[in-house]
């Protein structure tokens, strides 16, 4: 049974009534709004578990500004304009890339070495560790 718009009110349903026809359900977890009004949009698209955040933040610095258009922001962006995630230091980035380079440089040799061992211990093309 459909629940239609009855004027300006949002219909209220019990959880049981709201979900009685559901074969699947996606739940969006979000912080309750503080003093800033918050909207949630649900749009048809391919299935994805990624939630986009849009805020009225300036491009460079500063907090929420209601005169600005909504723009896509990082999940770490806060309403006061601060970022809750610090980017990694340059030396950490270089160390990570060095490890990745070592891994990728040796991958083919390691796979060549492990392939006959894996084939020998596999039962029905499966290895249980």
Counting the structural domains of the chain, the total is 1
Question: Which pLDDT belongs to residue 37?
Answer: 78
Are the C-beta atoms of 70 and 55 separated by less than 8 Å? Answer: yes
CA distance 36 to 33: 6
Q: Would 120 be classed as within a structural domain?
A: yes
Q: 7: burial class by Cβ within 10 Å (0-12, 13-18, 19+)?
A: exposed
Q: Would 128 be classed as within a structural domain?
A: yes
Q: Would 116 be classed as within a structural domain?
A: yes
Q: Would 121 be classed as within a structural domain?
A: yes
Question: Which pLDDT belongs to residue 129?
Answer: 84
Domain region containing 117: 87-129
Q: Would 80 be classed as within a structural domain?
A: no
Give me the sign of the Cα torsion angle 85, 90, 92, 96.
positive
Residues linked to residue 73 through DSSP beta bridges, in sequence order: 53
Has this prediction a pTM greater than 0.75? no
Residues of the chain with pLDDT under 70: 1-7, 33
Q: Would 82 be classed as within a structural domain?
A: no
Tokens 């029905």 map to which residue?
124
Q: Would 92 be classed as within a structural domain?
A: yes
Q: Would 79 be classed as within a structural domain?
A: no
């Amino acid at each position: 049974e459909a629940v239609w718009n009855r004027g300006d009110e949002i219909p209220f349903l019990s959880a049981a009534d709201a979900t009685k026809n559901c074969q699947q359900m996606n739940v969006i977890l979000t912080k309750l709004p503080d003093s800033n009004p918050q909207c949630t949009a649900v749009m048809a698209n391919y299935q994805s578990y990624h939630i986009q955040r849009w805020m009225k933040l300036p491009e460079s610095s500063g907090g929420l500004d209601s005169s600005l258009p909504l723009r896509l922001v990082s999940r770490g962006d806060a309403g006061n304009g601060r970022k809750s995630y610090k980017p990694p230091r340059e030396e950490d980035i270089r160390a990570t890339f060095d490890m990745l380079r070592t891994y990728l440089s040796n991958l083919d040799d390691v796979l060549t070495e492990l392939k006959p061992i894996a084939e020998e211990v596999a039962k029905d093309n499966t290895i249980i560790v």
